[in-house]
Amino acid sequence: MAKILLVIGTRPELIKIAPIVHAFRNVGKDDIIKILSTAQHRDMLEKYWDIFDIRPDYELDFLKKGQSLGELTARAFEQTDSFFSELEKVNKKPEYVVVQGDTTTVFSVGLCSFYHNIKIAHIEAGLRTYDIQNPYPEEVNRRVVSILADINFAPTKISADNLLKEGVPKNKIHIVGNTVVDALQFITKHKVYAHKEFSEKLLNNTNIEKNKVVLITFHRRENQNENLNQLINAINQLSKEYNQLKFIWTLHPNPQIKHFVENSLLSKNKNVILVPPLEYIDIIKLMNLSRIILSDSGGIQEEAPSFGVPVLVLRKTTERPEGIMEKKAFITELKINSIIKQFKSIYHNYYPKDLKNPYGDGFAADKIRDILLSQNNCV
């Protein structure tokens, strides 16, 4: 019987949980872990099982085309409930379920684990904006799991302090760093990263020079409104003024966002390259080539400091304040003039002082493994 069930639903979850699988494998303890894929991002997961050399032991099927957030959550909970019930019938219920981050997978699997009396370990616990609309619905997902978790793996002291303020017992909190840094170190040593060409052919046909790239990602639900229009207009102006730069916008698969951006005035700007959703490896390569990144992504805020690249955070607030405090990331109001002003300030004044990443040291997975192994039922 597996003692520990690691749950993966989205590409970021796979990226951040894979180092933990390797950590158990490195000490010959991978026999006590199993992997559940919920397939919340099935198409985006496939390639990375092979790159990280891991495979799921169990698979569910959360994703259904065109479903609402409520339908996704209901479907996720129902499938997880049935899955745990089947494990219980054959005496294979795990001692711990390990979830990562703030997705619907995390919320649904976490709550269902509680209902089935399975202990929960939450990776990347304690991140907070204290605004339930930003990020939406992730802020609520993360808070709910913190209430339920038996072990909270906080990436930083700030996230640990948030949990303490909320009444989480100190003995349930462990500061370990963020496994995204472990994953980044693994990927940048991998042969697919060393390969000069991109997976996306459009990028190979574009002359891309280091420090002459502006990477743009934009996907959060709370930004799928007038904020998107404001960003498009800001990029339109910036791309004309800074015509020596390539503005590479990796489009989110949401058809409404994709269609809106592709049919905007940006399509006429020669130095704005609109590309489909990129592979993680391509994003990491572009990050390393970038002068500035504009993004509402949490993962990019965590990864960019390792390359010394500043991030203009396209959000009202962030649950990752460490980069802001160390002046490696900068929040902007989502208004044309604010985006342009912040961009210019960073472009003309930012010079990386060091490549130290405030979110981790590359050993988070080992720390998580050791803490899980120290639990009596997991030895």
Active site residues: 102, 124, 138, 219, 221, 252
User: What region does 255 belong to: left with phi over 0, alpha with psi -120 to 50, or beta?
Assistant: alpha
Contact 128, 212 (CB under 8 A): no
Q: How far apart are CA 198 and CA 149, in angstroms?
A: 40
Q: How far apart are CA 293 and CA 347, in angstroms?
A: 11
| Cα-based distances in Å from 111 to 46, 59, 81, 122, 167 | 26, 18, 10, 12, 19
Q: How far apart are CA 320 and CA 128, in angstroms?
A: 8
| Helix segments in the chain, DSSP class H | 11-26, 42-51, 69-89, 104-115, 138-148, 157-165, 179-187, 191-194, 201-204, 226-241, 255-262, 280-289, 298-303, 321-325, 336-349, 364-374
Q: Which value, in Å, is the radius of gyration of the alpha carbons in the chain?
A: 21
Q: Residues near 119 by Cβ (< 8 Å), separated by ≥ 6?
A: 95, 96, 97, 113, 150, 151
| Cα-based distances in Å from 67 to 74, 104, 254, 276 | 10, 13, 12, 22
Q: How far apart are CA 43 and CA 284, in angstroms?
A: 19
Contact 37, 59 (CB under 8 A): yes
